[in-house]
Each structure stands twice: as structure tokens, then as C-alpha cells.
Amino acid sequence: MNRQTALITGATSGIGKAYAEYFARRGYDLILTGRRKEVITAVARELKKAHGIAVTVVIAELSNKEGVRPVLRTIEKAGDLSVLINNAGYGERKLFINLPVQKHLDMIEVHVNAALRLIHAALPRMINKKNGIIINVASLGAYAPAPINGIYGGTKSFLNVFTESLHMEVRRYGIKVQSLCPGFTRTDFHRKMGIEEEMKKNRMIHWMTPERVVIKSMKRLGKGKVICIPGIRNKLFYALARFMPRRLYYRMTEKLYGSYLGLSG
């Protein structure tokens, strides 16, 4: 019997690494992408040893077309890709006008364009064999417009609409798709943004582990859920942010982000 292969972008740490562990435990061979070479090589080594699977590491900077090419070549060579998880992503903590426009375009490349390129390359064979899984890691931020969140939330919102539309195109071929919208998750994400300490102090924040997020994602995928918001508190936040009168929402959110907006106390 052919072994199945899962490709996960951004598997160095956090949610991507948790997906890698999930599929490794189930005997899938893996293709993992990341940029921190030593860290992702160590992750690959551990998974190979623990589960007796094959792991290919692709060091890839996904913020430009050239960086995505080695991943596309690996998809071509893989022959039989069963799972594609577009997880690589990051946040910024500056107002729109305070970042060079290229930085915004880079984020769109990583969250949107790279994901689209990989899906477009992987889909034909999934359609042919009438089976496959595609998960795009979006964010609860897709539903929470806020200062400093315009491009991040916008790209994640794009992934939600795109994924639901794709679902309607490919479900007839037995392909399952999902847009995962996690809330605060304990990964390297906030440390890289330089706000880990600030967030740790905030008692209002409910954190989930990446492993729990992935279990929820896979359970919901099994039930055919296309948009997955893991965790009851995240679902409540979603409902509140979505249905609160907009003017009230803007006022409350501006207050929350007062330090970025230069508002006093």
C-alpha cells in the first residue's frame, strides 16, 4: 500500500509543528517547510526517529515567488500528496502607515499568494485520485478588525472566503477543506512580535495549546466543518465581534489599542 504524504508550511514551531506531530503519529510521510534551519531539522529528526516515517525539509522564505519555488518542485516530485496545510504566518505590530508598504505586501505573499500557489499545484492530483485534505490556517483576527490588524486580519479573512468557496468547488471530488481560525495560542508567534511579556500579563486572554487547536481542527474536519473556530471562548468572542453594533465595536477596540493610537489613558 502507498504511504501517504502531508505537506505543512511553517512547521518549525507552534501550530505547524503540532500538525506535523499529528500526521507523523498516524504514519504519514512529511514535507515540512520553515526558515530556522537548525530548529526544523531537529523537529524532522525527532519525528523520523519516533515514528519511522520519511521527512523532507524544505527551507523556504515564502514572502516572494522565488522562495515558494522549491516547495512547488517538492510537490511535483512527491507524486502523491494527500494533505496540504498552509500554516506559515506571522504578525506585525505597527499602524498601517508606520510600516513600509513592502512589508505589507510581504505578508500578503506569505498568507495569501504562497497558499494559493501551493493549493493550485496540489489540487489536480487530489482531484484525480478523488481524495485529499487542504487546511488553511487563518485566525480569529479575521473577524476582529483593529488598529495594527488591517493586513493580518484582511489576509486571514481572504483565506476564510477563499476556503469556503473552494469547498463548494471540490467537495464533489472527496476533497476536504478547512479554514482554521485559532484565537490566542501558545507558540513562538507573540515572542517574534516582541509582545509575549505584555500578553502574558493580560488575564483576560484565554490561551490554547497548539496541540489542542490541531485536535479540534482535525475533529471538525472529520465532521465536515469548513470554518473551524477552536474553543468555546473564541466562539463567544467571534459572536460578540461579529454582531456588536459597529460604532460601539470601533469605540471599544480603539480604546483597547489606545497605546498604538497615541490615545492617553
Ligand X SMILES: NC(=O)c1ccc[n+]([C@@H]2O[C@H](COP(=O)([O-])OP(=O)(O)OC[C@H]3O[C@@H](n4cnc5c(N)ncnc54)[C@H](OP(=O)(O)O)[C@@H]3O)[C@@H](O)[C@H]2O)c1
Q: How far apart are CA 33 and CA 115, in angstroms?
A: 13
If one asks whether residue 211 binds ligand X (CB under 6 A), the answer comes out as no
Q: By CB under 6 A, which span of 5-13, 50-58, 115-123, 171-179 interacts with ligand X?
A: 5-13
Closest contact distance (angstroms) between CB of 193 and ligand X is: 9
Only one residue has cell 503519529, namely 25
Cα 81 to Cα 102: distance, rounded to the nearest angstrom: 33
Binding to ligand X by CB under 6 A, coded x per residue (else -) over 26-65, reads --------xxx---x-------------------xxxx--
Least distance to ligand X, CB of residue 10, Å = 3
Q: Which of 46, 51, 78, 90 touches ligand X by CB under 6 A?
A: 90
d(CA 46, CA 29): 13
- Residue 153 in contact with ligand X, rule: CB under 6 A: no
Number of H helices, E strands in the chain: 12, 7
| Sequence-separated contacts (24+) of 61-66 with Cβ below 8 Å | 61/35, 62/9, 62/33, 62/88, 62/109, 62/110, 62/114, 63/106, 63/107, 63/109, 63/110, 63/114, 64/106, 64/109, 65/109, 65/113, 65/117
The backbone torsions φ and ψ at residue 73, rounded to the nearest 5 degrees and listed phi first, read -65, -40
Taking CB under 6 A as the criterion, the residue among 46, 164, 188, 254 binding ligand X is: 188
- Catalogue the active-site residues: 152
Residue 12 sits in the site that holds ligand X (CB under 6 A) = yes
- For ligand X, which residue of 43, 47, 81, 110 counts as binding (CB under 6 A)? 110
Among the listed residues 58, 84, 88, 170, the single contact to ligand X using CB under 6 A: 88
Residue of 158, 189, 237, 238 that binds ligand X (CB under 6 A)? 189
- Please, which of residues 130-149 interact with ligand X by CB under 6 A? 137, 139
Question: How many other CB atoms are found less than 10 A from the CB of residue 231?
Answer: 19
Cell for 186? Answer: 501558545
Which letter does DSSP use for residue 113 in this model?
Answer: I
Select from 87-95, 165-173, 225-233, 250-258 the region that touches ligand X (CB under 6 A): 87-95
Binding site for ligand X (CB under 6 A): 10-16, 34-36, 40, 60-63, 87-90, 110, 137, 139, 182, 184-185, 187-189, 192, 210
